[in-house]
Structure 1
Amino acid sequence: MQSIPVDTARLGVLRCAIPPEAKISNSETGEVKKDRDGNTVYTVAVLVRQDGRRISVIEIAVSGEPKGLEEGQIVKVTGLTAFAWAMGDRHGVSFRADTITPMPGTTAPQTARVEKTGGGA
């Protein structure tokens, strides 16, 4: 498997799409994936917005639970590495990072709340 360091400064805005979830290594038993040191591996879905309207979603694995991440929040990804993989006819790229943290001073956008009102009397 080839390891490729990724320059996150060139990726544009990174936002949390789905907060951290423990990565499952065996779907039949529900076994949670652990790293070499026994830490739980988490997956965070991150929106990558480059020039204009082009948006991609990547899932990034990270050891230990990232704290304070909320959906829609701008995040900082440190030590991002891409791994090209192939298994039989299947192939792709997976991502791993040292840390994923919320950017200081940023919060998740608030969704507008729409209240229904009853019709006329």
Structure 2
Amino acid sequence: MQSIPVDISRLGVLRCAVAPEVKISNFETQEVKKDRDGNTVYTVAVMVRQEGRRVSVIEIAVPGEPKGVVEGAEVKVTGLEAFAWAMGERHGISFRAAAITPVHPPAAAVKGGGS
């Protein structure tokens, strides 16, 4: 399967549509998918809005848990690649990235207080 690099700069605003979920490789056994290095693979649904009101949602596989990525948050996707696939009469495009991180990290808890 040949990978096709994706130019992220042309995708516009990226937002997390569905928070990271562990990717399951076998639904019967509930086996969790791992990459070549043994990292758990997560899937993040990302909304892509280029121009105007048109929005697309793509699911992106990423190694390791994307920390701080929550639904609705603007995200940065690093190293996005697309893969064309076919299984029998079914076919499609899947996406994989090196990392997905929040554009604005969650605010740190306010310290102190007290009387």
TM-score, structure 1 as length reference: 0.85
2:23 equivalent in structure 1: 23
Structure 2 counterparts to residues 66-81 of structure 1, below 5 A = 66-81=66-81
Q: Which amino acid aligns with 1:96?
A: R
Q: Deviations over 1:40-98 (max 9, x none)?
A: 00000000001101100000000000000111000000000000011110100000000
Instruction: Call closer, same or farther: CA 1:26–1:103 in 2, change over 3 Å.
Output: same
Q: What is the rounded CA distance, in whole Å, between the counterparts of 1:19 and 1:105 in structure 2?
A: 15
Structure 2 counterparts to residues 9-88 of structure 1, below 5 A = 9-88=9-88
- Displacement of 1:104 in angstroms is 2.7
Structure 1: state its 5+ residue gaps: 108-121
1:97 equivalent in structure 2: 97
Deviates more, 1:31-40 or 1:97-106: 97-106
2:113 equivalent in structure 1: none
- Displacement of 1:3 in angstroms is 1.1
Count of matched residue pairs = 107
Q: Any idea what SS the aligned residue of 2:21 has? A: strand
The CA RMSD over aligned residues, in Å, is 1.4
Given that 2:68 and 2:106 are in contact with CA atoms closer than 8 Å, whether structure 1 keeps it comes out as: no
Structure 2: state its 5+ residue gaps: 108-115
TM-score, structure 2 as length reference: 0.89
> Once superposed, which parts of structure 1, at least 4 consecutive aligned residues long, lie more than 6 Å away?
none
Given that 2:25 and 2:32 are in contact with CA atoms closer than 8 Å, whether structure 1 keeps it comes out as: yes
